[in-house]
Amino acid sequence: MRKVPFLLFLVPAALFADEVFLQGAGSISGRIVEQTDEIVQVDVGGGIVGVPTSRVERIVKARCSLDDYDDRASKLGPKDAGGWRKLGVWASQQGLTVQSQDAYRNVLAVAPDDAEARKALGFVKHDGRWMTEEESYRARGYVKYEGEWMTPAQAQVEQNNAAADQARRDAEQRARDAETATREAEARAQDAEARAREAEEAQRASAPVYWGGWGYGVAAWPSAPASQPKFTPAPRVPVRVPR
């Protein structure tokens, strides 16, 4: 099952009358716009939310502020700017943001320069013209940097600071890497030296030992190779000397 969006629990329950109670998960307040064997859809004022019917424990239906908005709107003519303005204020007080904006748009359809409706819809006035907040910033030469509006000079300072911080972090990282490489090289050198000492000691331990003198002590003399021929003296031949 999908989890119910957290947005549902941000809407004050007192503003609505239809209550959809969920199994172990609180309730959703709003106006039910669809109910089937598979899903229940509730208009919470800022949008429609659907939950699986299998998760619904019970439903309590009653009149809500959305119904009141529809009733009030149905009584207003398309050119009743004052009536739509009042309805926009009322809807905003009830937490019906979407409906409030719809009402103010109806005001602008009749009175495009209506200050209250413009401000309610997020417009600002610059050089005698209504424009969005973003348009006004750009018209004044501001730029958006890291989600904030600022002058180009301020943005340049922020960029320079960010570049300097990054360079410092890079230098620190290089220093740490160099230190790590030095420690690793020293460890390898020490390991190689230790292995060389072990090999030298092993070689000395396996070599023959010659010490002492003739007739005492230990004497170990290498024997001649088996393949080397033994020396045999030639027989003596008598030599006659003439008289």
Nearest to 221 by CA among 229, 230, 212: 212
Give the model confidence (pLDDT) of 64-107 as tens digits: 888 899 999 999 999 999 999 999 999 999 888 999 999 999 99
Upper half-sphere CA count for residue 215 (Cβ side, 13 Å): 0
Measured distance CA(219)–CA(211) in Å, rounded:
6
pLDDT confidence tier of residue 42, bands split at 50, 70 and 90? confident
**pTM of the full predicted structure?**
0.53
Measured distance CA(44)–CA(178) in Å, rounded:
59
> How confident is the model at residue 83, as a pLDDT?
96
Q: Which of 16-20, 134-138, 155-159, 161-165 has the lowest mean pLDDT?
A: 16-20
pLDDT: which is higher, 121 or 33: 121
15: three-class secondary structure by DSSP:
helix
Nearest to 5 by CA among 63, 40, 65, 49: 49
> How confident is the model at residue 34, as a pLDDT?
86
What residue spans of the chain are helical by DSSP H? 65-74, 81-93, 97-110, 115-120, 133-139, 152-206
Domains of the chain by range and CATH? 6-63 (2.30.30.100), 66-125 (1.25.40.10)
